[in-house]
Amino acid sequence: MAKATLLVLDGFGVGAMADCKDVKPEDLSANTYQHLLETTNLQLPTLERLGLRKIAFDDGNAEAAYGRSNLAHYGADTFMGHQELMGSKPGRPMKRQMKEVGPKIKAALETAGYHVTHPKKEAPLLLVDGVVVVGDNLESQLGNIINVTADLVLISFAEACTIARVVRSAVDTSRVIVFGNEQRTSIEQIVAAIEEGHPGQWGVNAPKAEVYGEGYQVLHLGYGVDHQKQFAHIAEQAGVPVYRIGKTADVIQATGYADPEVETKELLPKYKKLYLEAEDNAIFLVNVQETDLAGHKEDGNWYRETLEAVDAFLEDFLPQLGEGDVIIITADHGNDPTIGHSQHTREQTPILVYGPSVRPVSIGTRATMADLAAMLSEFAGVEKPEFGKSFLGEVYGG
């Protein structure tokens, strides 16, 4: 093999999923790319030359293999989207709050040998061994996530993750997130930052607890996700280096290089430098997060500026790919800034596969984004992930 890149334009959808009428009717009119074209002076000559307009409007030519993908995960979620991109088929989660699932979590933790109390009488949160608080996530959609906030001075991150996995086994929410700051966040700060969000929703206000910043550690545990059956883990086990740059450093489990850079102007040069310095046989998992942040802010101009920065970068970067190299440009869901709400939109995602040896053919509409992980696994010559169907033969002609 040579070098392969998965470049995720976070939240860049190309039209609502057909099932939106049943599962997410508020997104029926979503089309991130088309609406940006209609509401901003969006100019993407490189992506359009590769085939973006061919995907979206069946218009023009394509220098890359091109297609689109449905989402196999329920809803529209960055974490679950990336798990699918790595070859998982996430389970359909339920919305739960601590007031409902707290007793079940407490029982599971006590069965595992932990001492569990309540840090506040009026709240359904749990205090585990005096060093970890389990509560509702106050920063996401109601009921999606249970947080495990740890004092990483008194307990190691590995030990906190063990507690989080017990919590994960007891709930069917979309995610369980375990995190803390090994330098400055004490259990006293964590307990002092407990507050009520929506009525009956109790959790730790993470910014108030000073969890983020230098010393921050985090692990996301998805429902129905086994990272050991995903492409990144399989590749590393086979001795192929995996570089995670941007949001992938937070949401894809691996042990190699990780840099959670958010600013696009910093992220892309870092990626290019690492790419050009790396030996052959390397995988790069890169996420441009500012597109998603702009969608959440409903800021079409910020979204446009970020996409145009990526486009200009690609114009310079693509000619530097080696003969056997490949780059896949895609997304993890939509985030239409014009839709009338600030949440992710359930949209199909674009797929552009480019490399000097790649044929500019249609790969159609894929049933799942996990097909990209299957393709990358075949490219790297490693065991395939648990989900997904490779299209390597289609783009390389056999």
CA distance 337 to 347: 13
Alpha-carbon distances, residue 118 vs 123, 147, 180, 202, 261 (angstroms): 8, 15, 19, 12, 36
pLDDT at 99 over 80: yes
Res 212: pLDDT: 87
Which of 7-21, 88-102, 150-164 is least confident? 88-102
CA distance 116 to 113: 9
CA distance 346 to 75: 6
CA distance 353 to 379: 12
Q: What percent of the chain has pLDDT above 90? A: 88
Decide: 94 and 174 in contact? Cβ < 8 Å. no
Indicate the burial class of 22 (C-beta count within 10 angstroms; 0-12, 13-18, 19 or more): exposed
CATH superfamily of 3-90+225-396: Alkaline Phosphatase, subunit A (3.40.720.10)
In this prediction, residues 7-27 reach a mean pLDDT of 96
Average pLDDT, the chain: 95
Please give the span between the terminal C-alpha atoms of the chain, in angstroms, as a whole number.
15
Identify the residue whose tokens are 């959440």. Answer: 296
Res 184: pLDDT: 85
| Collapsed DSSP state (helix, strand, coil) of residue 68 | strand
Q: What percent of the chain has pLDDT above 70? A: 99
Q: Band the pLDDT of 278: cuts 50, 70, 90.
A: very high
Res 258: pLDDT: 95
Ordered by start, the domain boundaries in the chain are 3-90+225-396, 98-222
CA distance 350 to 70: 9
pLDDT at 118 over 90: yes
Query: pLDDT tens digits, residue range 221-275?
Result: 988 888 999 999 999 999 999 999 999 998 999 999 999 999 999 999 999 999 9
Alpha-carbon distances, residue 148 vs 54, 109, 174 (angstroms): 44, 12, 14
DSSP H or E stretch at residue 394: helix 392-396
The DSSP code sequence of 168-236 is: HHH--SSEEEEEEETTT--HHHHHHTEEESSTT-EEE-TTTTT-SSTTEEEEEEETT--GGGSHHHHHH
Pairing of strands 202-204, 216-222: unpaired
The HSE-up count of residue 289 (CA atoms within 13 Å, CB side) is 18
The HSE-up count of residue 291 (CA atoms within 13 Å, CB side) is 31
pLDDT at 290 over 80: yes
pLDDT at 214 over 90: no
Query: pLDDT tens digits, residue range 29-49?
Result: 999 999 999 999 999 999 999
pLDDT at 141 over 80: no
In this prediction, residues 305-317 reach a mean pLDDT of 98
Q: For the whole model, what pTM was predicted?
A: 0.85
Cross-strand partners of 258 = 244
Closest C-alpha among 395, 385, 378 to residue 1 = 378
Overall size of the chain counted in residues? 398
CA distance 46 to 65: 14
CA distance 85 to 176: 19
CA angle 104, 108, 114 (to 5 degrees): 125
The DSSP code sequence of 5-36 is: EEEEETT--SSB-TTHHHH-GGGTT--HHHHH
Res 398: pLDDT: 60
Cross-strand partners of 216 = 181
Closest C-alpha among 324, 253, 327 to residue 286 = 327
Query: pLDDT tens digits, residue range 322-367?
Result: 999 999 999 999 999 999 999 999 999 999 999 999 999 999 999 9
In this prediction, residues 182-196 reach a mean pLDDT of 94
CA distance 34 to 53: 10
Res 280: pLDDT: 86
Instruction: Compare 250 and 4 and report the one with higher pLDDT.
Output: 4
Identify the residue whose tokens are 């890149």. Answer: 5
